Amino acid sequence: MSLRSYIIARVLLTIPMLLLLLTMVFLITRVLPGDPVLLHFEKQAKPEAVEEFRQRLGLDKSLPEQYVDYLTGLLRGDLGRSMQDFSPVGQQIFSAFPATLELAIFGMIIAVVLGIFLGVRSSKSYNTGEDHVIRTFGITSYAIPVFFLGMVLQLVFSIGLHWFPSGGRIYPGGEPLGLNFGGFHLQTGLYTFDSLLEGNLGKFVQSLRYIFLPSLALGLALCGIFIRLTRSNMLETLRLDFVTAARARGLKERTVVYTYALRNAFLPILTMMGLQFAALLAGAILTETTFSWPGLGRYLVDRIAFRDYTAIQGAVVFFGLLVALVSLIVDILYAYLDPRIRL
Amino acid sequence: MQKERGRILVQLIPRFVGLSQRGLAGWTVLIGSVIVAAVVTMTLLAPWISPRNPVAINVGPILASPSNEFPLGTNHLGQDMLSRVISGGSMVLQVAVISVVMCIVVGVPIGLLASYAGGLTDKGTSLVMDSIYAFPGLVLAIAIAAMLGRGVLNMSLAIAVVYVPSYFRIVRSQVLTIKELSYIEAARALGAKSRSIILKYVLPNVVPSVVSVATINFADAILTAAGLTFVGLGLSVAVPDWGWDLTYGRQLLPSGAWWVIAFPGLMIVLLALGFTLIGEGLSELWSPRLEH
Amino acid sequence: MPLLQIDSLTVDYPTRNGTVRAVNDVSIALEKGQTLGIVGESGCGKSTLGLAVIRLIPPPGVLTEGSIRIDGTDVVHLPENQVRELRGKVGFIFQDPMTSLNPVKRIGDHFIEFMRAHDKKISREEALERSGKILESLGILRERINDYPHQFSGGMRQRVMIGLGLALSPKLLIADEPTTSLDVIVEAQILELMNKLKKEYNLTLILITHNIGIVAEMSDLVAVMYAGRVVELGPTDRIFENPLHPYTKGLLESAPNIVHPERSMHPIPGSPPDLISPPTGCKFHPRCPHAFEPCPLSEPALATKERQLVACHLYD
């Protein structure tokens, strides 16, 4: 099977799952609580006001109608309107998203780099003290709630040592402006990237300082599974015939470990990265709250406090779609990298 | 019945000691079990061993750092942190236990039936379970908990929904493997009813995997419950709860009052770690990796 | 001076239950251009012996005693970087071609990487060109150099392995069960190929196998191994005409005989010994039809008898 037909097949497979996902969210947020509008107004409100409120949000229609509206709206990119001020949820989400994306990227990089490095070390010093220490570290990092880890990091490095800021994304007025060349404007919303585009080294360094602790917390919490995966894959792969055969040809040990063993062991790591993306987002929600990071996670948490159920629904849908998209990309990437899987 | 229970308990003790002979994996299970047992015992005995009333305010100065009188310090309400730490596990443990029980009661039977039945039932159920499984867990739990409202049962339900697919999948994979084995065919050839096949052959083989998943599930449930509390979907304020202390303690951080979050946090880590160790050790013991 | 000189080689594997002596006091000399066939049952130590020559004894195995000299140079005490160099001069072909190639690397890349690891000055294009020529001489189309291992059949993969083994024109080629995983027809092709290459490259070849038929066909010298020791060693025609050691006789009798098909096959009774607690004295004595008083008492030494070397109390 060529790569193209694999991609098509995979995309087609995603559609029923997406539909199921969207229906699930709908059931949870519209059907489960009974009446989200009444939930929103905790105290008694005038029936007319409630009714008008309902109409403005389209929540007065019958459930099947609402369901259709919901799905068609999504096709247009409409994620509903906030109960707080009726502004489009989609817009709020898109403006908060880059912050979460940046945090997720840095967090994943730390998790994977740390995980692979420690995993390889662990596999090479198999069954020695170093191996056990690394494995214990991996298991423990899994058991630590990421927000607790974040708070500990804040306490030590921020409040204690003043090396890093304890919250926020950048100092006031320090938002990078991106690339401005003639009439051409490019801004990704990722502060680290944008500050480089702007050519402002100061902002770049500052944006790194602000993102360091939160992504470290996220990365440490997630690296455990990468350590274990790398270690077990390496242990298996290092024992395989083609690794011994490579050594028999006199290739350098470093070449053998990295281009023979690791490259073959890497593919499951790549899949794991995709699988862990969901966990990454979950961790991001908690980390953003801890560090007052203005991303999607904090948006969701704020909406909960405001009992803004339509916005909560929009955000949850967005998270689900995001995860589905990422796993699709990872699957395709995997097929590209491992020629065996396409056949 | 009492005699049976007694006999089982007596048999368990040498089993536990025997674990230390089973190498590293055995020790892992042993250490994990000891940790969990210690925490659970502490929580159960809390009303008697707690030095002060964990809910009473102003039993000590506000935000006092650890001292002889208050070994774990006090919080912003003047509550004794030691008492709060000793008593704070009950909510977390309740939620964990209830959600795991819910998961097993729902996930295992569905897994058994759907995969044994095969065909459309199997495919349909798998699709639903996969969709739930693929969804970011905490987000789903947040959505459900936000809609259902506060309460132990609601939180347990939210967590249970997220983890049911894990049980479904493991049961299903076991059933599919076993289904192909010849002794099932032999039993069927002899005319055994499907139900008895499931109960007699399939279920006993599935139990070890379910137990493994359950232990990791416990750890996850604890962490998710703490997470839900942290985002504001926690239980009522009146009961001492590690998750609540962590959540509120965050606002006290800038003043450097590290003890308010450190000890409750440590307890959560310890409990989750205990369960994780048990789970890791068990899966190693039951399906040892082929190493030299 | 012999190309390969092995003296009193001993390799041990420490295990949880005791030490396994996989290779026990083995001494062999191989002249340039000769082909040595090492034959024996599974677990007799022949593979370990082969791997020891290129210092690739799988851990936890250790070379406890002895020396291995290639062209006069002692291999046992070479530093790591020189061991790598050595591996460029001694080719090794592994048993299972299905798993000996890196699944995510193209065939061409295997060659290029190998060549460049031993000669940094060679360019990619030159390496590619040379690899193409080698593949062609092995009967593989040049264009296939861009294919992945899984796109080749077992026989073709083994040809690739042979090609890799010969790519740097080595002095010595060691083939560990090169045809065991292949079917009979492919096996014949590979053996024919190896014969041709032997002459073409003037190779000194060590052929490790449990198949006595292959040894008869391909080798000048035969070493019969049992439980880590060489029990008989000598020119091929002598050994086959006049096998001295009971084990060698047993091996010949248990193989089908094409010249005398009516002769029945007699398998050797019993099974290979447990090397953690091996039998006392001569390790073959429990299965030997000619065992007598000295056999359980002492290990017979390898001694000359009728132009062969044999380790058996019958000939003391």
Q: From start to end of A62-216, where are the E strands? A: 179-181, 184-186
- At residue B1 the predicted structure's pLDDT band, cuts being 50, 70 and 90, is very low
- At residue B13 the predicted structure's pLDDT band, cuts being 50, 70 and 90, is low
In angstroms, the Cα distances linking C133 to C129, C142, C161, C164, C189 are 6, 7, 15, 12, 19
**A258 lies within 8 A of chain C by CB:** no
Using the beta-carbon criterion (under 8 Å), do B135 and A16 form an inter-chain contact? no
Going by the DSSP 8-state scheme, the letter that residue B74 receives in this structure is: B
In angstroms, the Cα distances linking A96 to A80, A130, A169, A315, B115 are 16, 42, 12, 11, 42
Q: Range with the lowest mean pLDDT among A230-239, B38-47, C35-44, C249-258?
A: C249-258
B115-144 pLDDT, tens digit each: 777 788 888 888 889 888 888 889 999 988
Using the beta-carbon criterion (under 8 Å), do B262 and A152 form an inter-chain contact? yes
The alpha carbon of residue C277 is apart from the nearest alpha carbon of chain A, in Å, by 26
Going by the DSSP 8-state scheme, the letter that residue A211 receives in this structure is: H
| Most distant pair of Cα atoms in chain B: their distance | 76
Mean predicted confidence (pLDDT) in A163-177: 81
ipTM here: 0.84
- At residue A54 the predicted structure's pLDDT band, cuts being 50, 70 and 90, is confident
- pLDDT of B196 above 70: no
Which of A82-86, B213-217, C197-201, C297-301 is modeled with the greatest confidence?
A: B213-217
B31-82 pLDDT, tens digit each: 899 999 999 999 888 888 888 888 888 777 888 888 877 888 888 888 888 8
- pLDDT of B95 above 60: yes
- pLDDT of A107 above 90: yes
**A248 lies within 8 A of chain C by CB:** yes
Mean predicted confidence (pLDDT) in C71-97: 87
A287-319 pLDDT, tens digit each: 999 999 999 999 999 888 888 888 888 899 899
Mean predicted confidence (pLDDT) in C153-176: 88
- Residue A73 and residue A262: Cα distance in Å, rounded? 45
Mean predicted confidence (pLDDT) in C104-108: 85
Q: Which residues pair with A185 in a beta bridge?
A: A180
Mean predicted confidence (pLDDT) in B192-196: 63
- pLDDT of C131 above 80: yes
Alpha carbon C5 to chain centroid, angstroms:
15
pLDDT at A151: 92
Neighbour subunits, C (≥3 Cβ pairs < 8 A): A
- At residue B292 the predicted structure's pLDDT band, cuts being 50, 70 and 90, is very low
Using the beta-carbon criterion (under 8 Å), do A255 and C114 form an inter-chain contact? no
Q: In residues, how long is chain A?
A: 343
The pTM score is 0.75
- pLDDT of B288 above 60: no
Neighbour subunits, B (≥3 Cβ pairs < 8 A): A
* Closest listed residue to residue C22, CA positions, set C68, C63, C66: C63
The answer to whether A325 and A309 have CB atoms below 8 angstroms apart is: no
Q: Which residues contact B261 (CB under 8 A, 6 or more apart)?
A: A148, A151, A152, A155, B245, B246, B249, B250, B252, B253
pLDDT at B291: 41
- Residue C81 and residue B213: Cα distance in Å, rounded? 48
Q: Range with the lowest mean pLDDT among A275-279, B109-113, C269-273?
A: C269-273
Enumerate the H helices of chain B as residue ranges: 2-19, 23-44, 46-49, 81-87, 89-117, 119-134, 137-148, 152-180, 182-189, 194-197, 203-228, 242-249, 259-286
pLDDT at B8: 55
Q: Which fold has domain C4-315?
A: Rossmann fold (3.40.50)
The alpha carbon of residue A32 is apart from the nearest alpha carbon of chain B, in Å, by 7
- pLDDT of A21 above 60: yes
pLDDT at C10: 92
The alpha carbon of residue B71 is apart from the nearest alpha carbon of chain A, in Å, by 20
Q: For chain A, how far is it from start to end, CA to CA, in angstroms?
A: 5
Neighbour subunits, A (≥3 Cβ pairs < 8 A): B, C
**A240 lies within 8 A of chain C by CB:** yes
Helix (H/G/I), strand (E/B), else coil: A252? coil
A194-241 pLDDT, tens digit each: 888 778 888 888 888 899 999 999 999 999 989 988 888 888 887 788
- At residue A341 the predicted structure's pLDDT band, cuts being 50, 70 and 90, is low
The answer to whether C6 and C191 have CB atoms below 8 angstroms apart is: no
The share of chain B scoring above pLDDT 70, in percent, equals 82
Q: How are strands ordered across the β-sheet holding C303-305?
A: C90-93, C172-176, C204-209, C35-39, C221-226, C229-235, C308-310, C303-305
Mean predicted confidence (pLDDT) in A118-138: 86
Q: Which residues contact C72 (CB under 8 A, 6 or more apart)?
A: C1
The answer to whether C245 and C232 have CB atoms below 8 angstroms apart is: yes
pLDDT at B16: 59
- Residue B116 and residue B175: Cα distance in Å, rounded? 7
The answer to whether C242 and C35 have CB atoms below 8 angstroms apart is: no
Of A152, A160, A301, the CB nearest to B231: A301
Contacts of A323 in chain B (CB under 8 A): 134-136
Q: Which residues of C282-303 are buried (b: 16+ CB within 10 A; e: fewer)?
A: bbbbbbbeebeeebeeeebebe
- pLDDT of B175 above 90: no
More confident residue, A157 or B19: A157
Classify burial at C2, counting beta carbons within 10 Å of its beta carbon; exposed 0-12, middle 13-18, buried 19 or more. Answer: middle
The answer to whether B242 and B89 have CB atoms below 8 angstroms apart is: yes
Q: For chain C, how far is it from start to end, CA to CA, in angstroms?
A: 29
A61-75 pLDDT, tens digit each: 777 777 888 888 888
The answer to whether A101 and A93 have CB atoms below 8 angstroms apart is: no
Could you tell me which chain B residue has the CA closest to the CA of A22? Answer: B131
Contacts for C255-260: CB closer than 8 Å, 24+ residues apart: C255/C212, C255/C213
